[in-house]
Structure 1
């Protein structure tokens, strides 16, 4: 299944589907379910990232970090409906909606729980599950203004079960992931919580017909 996701990503980029948000005086495009994107922490200028390296403490689950590299393939995440639901490809994500973010290269979901993060002592954020299936602790609420999550807007992600915000505060790892920054959950909102969509494939309703014969919704 992950091979299909990677093939779709390569196909989409080859077809030019990773276009930037609409410019000019037009209304910004909404971020949609099924899209595969990179997310930039605005304050610290790092992209949400994961890889098959586990935490040496806490839960021992797959680590989630922030990286400054723009072209790292381990920074792609698929936007999906919350646990046990399906959000159809091309469906705009509403402000206040709960979603999952599935890491493309490992098939694990962005996750949080009551473990302490290794560097800052905040709440641990990990990647959890297999082939896109985990549990209710994979759900995050999109906090934004307006009716929909707009591609050019800065948004926050609030963990639906523990109410922490997905954050970066600058703590940096040593080996084996030297230079990567800690991603964690914070109990309050501040400038460390804001994220913006960057590179990716943005699904539109018209693309549903072309893509769906080849794979099923995750």
Structure 2
């Protein structure tokens, strides 16, 4: 399942832009940009550390992956939405990368834990009707489980910066 969004708002809860899960690999509404959190810049080419707080910005709408204490419409878990304008939102857009090892590696599964409410970004089996028929509800779950593992499938991947590669080389001496 791919993390997906589009300019369709929830009809309840926050009324913000909905975030769903889809199976299709060819949908441009499933592309997200990894950015630094509220006050931190994430330089292109710098690997993301396990435990680092990040933002995921939806490429199509410029809104950030967001959560807050609204109830999700189908499962009754915590609502996950897309919020802000042109990548600017608030502290509720920050997610911690939970992975094993030192860095988030392209082919490894990771979890995203909301920095303010501690829920894990999750998808289970609940599916929406119209206007987003068949798309799965993405929500925040209080416990870690198989429902909150994510893996990068498509995208543009940056080579680690030369400075990082040198740091890695020297760290192994």
- TM-score scaled to structure 1, two decimals? 0.73
Distance 1:88 1:206 in 2: 9
Q: Which runs of 5+ in 2 are unaligned?
A: 163-173
* 1:141 alignment partner in structure 2: 96
Deviation of the 1:204 alpha carbon: 2.3
Distance 2:105 2:158 in 1: 13
Query: In structure 2, the residue corresponding to 1:71 is in which secondary structure?
Result: coil
Q: Which has the higher contact order (CA 8 A, sep 6+)?
A: 1
Deviation of the 1:84 alpha carbon: 1.9
- 1:53-202 equivalence runs, <5 A: 53-202=8-157
Query: In structure 2, the residue corresponding to 1:174 is in which secondary structure?
Result: coil
Q: Does the CA contact (< 8 Å) of 2:47 and 2:160 recur in 1?
A: no
* 2:167 alignment partner in structure 1: none
Alignment size in residue pairs: 162
Q: Where does structure 1 differ by over 3 angstroms across 4 or more consecutive aligned residues?
A: none
Distance 1:140 1:64 in 2: 15
Q: What per-residue deviation string (whole Å, max 9, x for no partner) do you get for residues 123-176 of structure 1?
A: 000000000000000000000010100111111000000000000011000000
Distance 1:185 1:206 in 2: 33
Query: In structure 2, the residue corresponding to 1:115 is in which secondary structure?
Result: strand
Superposition RMSD in Å: 1.0
Deviation of the 1:206 alpha carbon: 5.6
Deviation of the 1:205 alpha carbon: 4.6
Q: What per-residue deviation string (whole Å, max 9, x for no partner) do you get for residues 54-93 of structure 1?
A: 0000000000000111100000000001112211001000
Distance 1:184 1:164 in 2: 9
Deviation of the 1:203 alpha carbon: 1.6
Q: What per-residue deviation string (whole Å, max 9, x for no partner) do you get for residues 1-29 of structure 1?
A: xxxxxxxxxxxxxxxxxxxxxxxxxxxxx
Query: In structure 1, the residue corresponding to 2:29 is in which secondary structure?
Result: helix
Q: Which runs of 5+ in 1 are unaligned?
A: 1-45, 208-218
